[in-house]
Amino acid sequence: MLRYLTAGESHGAALVAILDGCPANLALSADDLDLDLARRQGGYGRGARMKLEKDKVEILSGVRKGKTIGSPIALLIPNKSTEFFNKVITALRPGHADLAGALKYNQADVRNILERASARETAARVAVGGVARALLGALKIRATSRVVEIGGHKERKEWQQAIDRARAAGDSVGGIFEVIVTGVPAGLGSYVQWDRRLDGNLARALMAIPAIKGVEIGLGFEAAKRLGSKVHDELYYVKRKGFYHQSNNAGGLEGGISNGEPIVIRAAMKPIATLGKPLQSVDLATKKATAAYVERADVCAVEAAAVIGESAALIEVANALLEKCGGDSMEELKTNLAAYQKQVSVL
């Protein structure tokens, strides 16, 4: 199975990730991972920090001569912007982890909360997702994403205008993005235990992205409004193709298991909580009313969140694939997957 941890603060020296469980002999380079890191930094509505940071990953272990060797992969992403790290903050920001984190960890300086709660941490997750992308790509499993809407607008021109208006007003906007994973074989995940359900693990992974407040798979909440006859995907069979559906309302997952159709998952992102025109708040030290603390922030990061969502989905699908097929090397994994697919094809 794939396991990973991240470490590091938003304005600390660096972000770090350690990934365990990647099979040996996977072709992998830092350039592969940098592609998604650059995509994460883009998008309309991003803030000034993205002009300062040019994220590049250093592979410290687990890769030799361009291939993984089966040992844990250590990844390092240096931070260029560290000037705020020692600045004390006591003015709480509504919508952030500031108050809840300060109470939980008994901290008087909110800097100790926001540095780790910051979405900057997701750069490390995207680097891990890059490894999962390379692994799955070698098996012809791929992920893409798109913006569904921002600020209630579905057309790019309209939502860019909404971002411009929010920026001028010192405000922010959220939106919805969609991730699609194609080439996923049927049979990943399981219904036998709650924590092995692939839909549950995907939902948890996307919900764990900062500012995500809702996740749906396939029709999602729309399914609650329809009759069953308008929701469930009818089954068909032809010998040359096997079992298939003509619709994908289930979003590629039934009973916690992939069914061979593309996995379709959407996430709703709330507006960024740090506003140019700060909300009313309280000072943690004095307990007096104050304006919320303002630090560099995006006006909208939905496009960036979509890239992070891809990474989260790739990691979960890769983990489910390794659970199903196993293999300490890419050659063994490919052999096991081919054997399973042959078994399924003769049913």
pTM (2 d.p.): 0.95
pLDDT tens digits for 173-196?
999 999 999 999 999 999 999 999
pLDDT for 286: 97
Burial class (CB in 10 A: 0-12, 13-18, 19+), 171: middle
What's the full length of the chain, in residues? 347
pLDDT of residue 49: 58
Task: Quote helix, strand, coil % in the chain, to nearest 5.
Answer: 35, 25, 40
pLDDT reported for residue 83 = 86
Does the pLDDT value for residue 169 go beyond 90?
A: yes
Confidence band of 31 (pLDDT split at 50, 70, 90): very high
pLDDT tens for 131-162 read: 999 999 999 999 999 999 999 999 999 999 99
Query: Do the Cβ atoms of 277 and 299 come closer than 8 Å?
Result: no
Q: What percent of the chain has pLDDT over 90?
A: 92
Q: What does the alpha-carbon distance between residue 181 and residue 206 come to, in Å, rounded to a whole number?
A: 14
Q: Which amino acid is at 307?
A: V
DSSP codes of every residue in 48-91: THHHH-----EEEESEETTEE-SSPEEEEEE-S--TTTT----B
Res 312: pLDDT: 98
Q: Is residue 315 scored above 80 in pLDDT? A: yes
Q: What is the mean pLDDT of residues 279-294?
A: 96
Residue type, 299: V
Tell me how far apart the alpha carbons of residues 16 and 57 are, in angstroms, rounded to a whole number.
Answer: 9
The answer to whether 333 touches 23, Cβ cutoff 8 Å, is: yes
pLDDT band at 38; cut points 50, 70, 90: very high
Residue 50 has pLDDT above 60, yes or no: no
> How do strand 212-217 and strand 235-238 relate by DSSP bridges?
unpaired
Q: What is the pLDDT of residue 296?
A: 78
From the options 3.60.150.10, 1.10.3720.10, 3.20.20.140, 2.60.40.1840, give the CATH code of 86-345: 3.60.150.10
